[in-house]
Amino acid sequence: MTETDVRACKSCGQKNRVRAAASGTPRCASCGADLPWLARITGAGFREGVETSPVPVLADFWAPWCAPCRMVEPVVERLAVDLAGRLKVAKINTDEEPQLGSRFEVRGIPTLILFRDGKEADRVTGAMPAPELRAWVESRLR
């Protein structure tokens, strides 16, 4: 996702623009259904996109050269779609944003940190099978 991305609503098919650093939960302009929020976040957008989010945020700290990161990526992106309105997903490239990796003491990638009310609620490091990753996220959204 860039500064804005176009997302099709699962309910009515309407195409909607979604801002990458939006602090709220995006909704379809036509029917009001929740839209997936998946953004590549930089240091400048971290506060608005993650720390002030009213919805829990799963921050995926990754790098393009990391094979386990590429294995987890489709699962994380699917979670953004399946849990639209309940979860936002922020992708943070640690090669491009080393200060964020350092700030959150990311020692290995992929590292997935779940933020609730702008604070770290839980984290996992390393690739997990899709069912386990989904179960981990969903159990923390209750």
pLDDT tens profile 68-87 = 999 999 999 999 989 988 99
Q: Assess whether 66 carries a catalytic annotation.
A: yes
Q: Bigger pLDDT: 17 or 98? A: 98
Q: How far is CA 41 from CA 59, 94, 131, in A?
A: 9, 11, 26
List the domain range (segments joined by +) for residue 112. 36-140
Whether residue 116 lies inside any domain: the answer is yes
Whether residue 26 lies inside any domain: the answer is no
Whether residue 16 lies inside any domain: the answer is no
Whether residue 104 lies inside any domain: the answer is yes
pLDDT band at residue 23 under the 50/70/90 scheme: low
Nearest Cα residue to 20 out of 62, 50, 65: 50
Angular region, 105: left φ>0, alpha ψ -120 to 50, beta rest: left
- Give, to the nearest 10 degrees, the angle between helix 130-140 and helix 67-82: 50
**Which CATH number characterizes residue 75's domain?**
3.40.30.10
Residue type (1 letter), 104: F
Which 3 state secondary structure label does DSSP give 15?
A: strand
pLDDT tens profile 109-136 = 999 999 999 999 999 999 999 999 999 9
pLDDT tens profile 30-54 = 999 988 888 888 888 898 889 988 8
Whether residue 28 lies inside any domain: the answer is no
Whether residue 126 lies inside any domain: the answer is yes
Domain count, the chain: 1
